[in-house]
Amino acid sequence: MPKQWRTLAGRRVIDWTIAAFEASPHVGQIVVVLHADDLDRLAPREGLSVVTGGATRAASVRAGLETLADTDTQLVLIHDAARACVPDITITDMTRMLEKYVAVAPGLPVTDALWKGGEEKPAFHMVIGTQDRTGLYRAQTPQAFRFPEILAAHRAYAGDAADDVEVARAAGIDVRIGPGHEDNIKITTARDFTRAERILKDRMTTSIPDIRTGNGFDVHRFGPGDHVTLCGIDIPHGRGLQGHSDADVGLHTVTDAIYGALAAGDIGRHFPPTDPQWKGAASRIFLEHAVGLARDQGFMITHIDCTLICEAPKIGPHAPGMTAKMAEITGLDPTRISIKATTSERLGFTGREEGIAALATVTLVRA
């Protein structure tokens, strides 16, 4: 039986591989390329399509890429189904590196000494020399590319290739080497199955995910003005919100929630109100800093929930625009962002329309 269909730790090899990408917040669509005889082994589902491959590896990759040609795909990760132990951090690293480079691939430096063996074929070869290992890497997947460039490279490539880095380099594309991972083995031999099963079982039983939850709360009073800025959107209103910056109580609250999840204080610690450079500053600066701090510490923001508390202005009509703006600033999919509003039933300072309050909860997961 082909290795991708064999059982590994209770599931098929390919099921483990697909699950790793389905679990990643960076992946929006998965295309599985299969031999024509195997199409009935894997049913398409939401977010996953199945296409028929070609006679060679390169032809199969191109078949997968061509199914995305008429979509708005901008980035693509190309992965071996036999690498069922790919860690989340590798998928994240490759995706993040595509923000800067056209093509990247994970690799591990060769650390063992390399020998040259004699050409004769006895039971054991004779060592006839050594090979310099300087600059040598063990190639892994997923190999990641900006989609238009790798599609054009495959369309121009003739013949087969060991991997997609070879195809990209033939088209003149510079490929950067990103961090590989020792667990990201390609299953080939019987011993590889044993090792992969040990990796997956250890991951299931001993790996405790680092999940953080942070809360934020903020208040700004009304004062003179003709609009309020909430969650990055200017809303016409008879009064404005007062504050050292643009007084965006929504973005301030979400920012503090991220800092809270990181145990990193609050906005005042990072952007002191006594510093004149932040007078009138756009609050997206603060949120972008918090998002960057989370990313630098190895965390992904997986969910934002923000509630605005006020009698006026009405938030409902502007909520979709606020969600889109926050998605733009944070890099999250809009479906992972909730912005809603409530009143205080005419009670308290918000009920007297003296100001607006907001509270937020965010969830961070270490990649």
Q: Is the pLDDT of residue 119 over 80?
A: no
Provide mean pLDDT across the span 215-241.
95
Question: What is residue 125's DSSP assignment?
Answer: P
Q: Look at residue 206 in the predicted model and tell me its pLDDT.
A: 60
Instruction: Specify the 3-state DSSP secondary structure of 285.
Output: helix
CB contact set of 135 (below 8 Å; sequence gap of 6+): none
Is the separation of the CB atoms in 116 and 128 below 8 Å?
Answer: yes
What are the tokens at 365? Answer: 């997961």
At 48 the three-state DSSP class reads: strand
List the domains of the chain with CATH numbers. Answer: 3-107+139-206 (3.90.550.10), 211-366 (3.30.1330.50)
Q: What does the alpha-carbon distance between residue 284 and residue 274 come to, in Å, rounded to a whole number? A: 19
On the CB side of 208, how many CA atoms lie within 13 Å of its CA? 1
| pTM for the model | 0.58
Q: Identify the pLDDT of residue 208.
A: 64
Model confidence at 207, in pLDDT bands (50, 70, 90)?
low
Say if residues 33 and 64 touch (Cβ distance below 8 Å). yes
CA-based nearest residue to 252, from 237, 266, 273 = 266
Nearest-Å Rg of the Cα atoms of the chain is: 26
Partnered with residue 340 across adjacent β-strands are 307
pLDDT for 1 equals 86
Looking at residue 44, the DSSP 8-state letter turns out to be: -
Calpha distance 10→228 (Å, rounded) = 56
* The pLDDT value given to residue 18: 96
Please give the average per-residue pLDDT across 86-110, as a whole number: 96
